[in-house]
Each structure stands twice: as structure tokens, then as C-alpha cells.
Structure 1
Amino acid sequence: MRVLWQMAADRKSTALKQLQGHMWRAAYILFQQYKQKTNISI
């Protein structure tokens, strides 16, 4: 709940920035793996 509150308040905390970085990195890696399996080029 605290994370949602900070996001709603548009806080710029280090913890939120770090969480966002982890999420972006995980999504990037998953997308790269998906591209390899499906042979798509974007």
C-alpha cells in the first residue's frame, strides 16, 4: 500500500526509482527472450 501511495503522490523517492529500474530491466529481458523465441524483429 505504501508504494501505491507514493506513486499516487508522484513521490521521487530512491526506493521507487530503484523499483522502477528493476521492473524495466525485467521487462526488457523478457521481451528479448520473447523476440528470440518468436523470431520477430522490431
Structure 2
Amino acid sequence: MLYLDKFEEEQADTYHETLEDAFGQAEFEFGVKKDEWFLVKNQ
């Protein structure tokens, strides 16, 4: 996962063996469940 500031500059990142691990970490840290995520196209 990438942690971005308000200017979308990378501040930190985390490594996860699987996408499921990353979703689990996101739910733990931010309370966002896997089915609540959505894709955002690059500008």
C-alpha cells in the first residue's frame, strides 16, 4: 500500500505477500472492507 500526502506524493509504503493481505491491512488500519474499494483511473 502507498501512503500519499495531500499533493499525492508518496510518504511511505508497505509490502504484502498477497493482495488479500493488503486488503486485510487496509481494513485493520482504515476500517475499509475489501468490497468498499473501487478503482480510480489515472488522470
Normalising to structure 2: TM-score of the pair? 0.31
Rg: which structure is higher?
1
Structure with higher strand content: 2
| Larger helix percent | 1
Give the TM-score normalised by the residue count of structure 1: 0.32
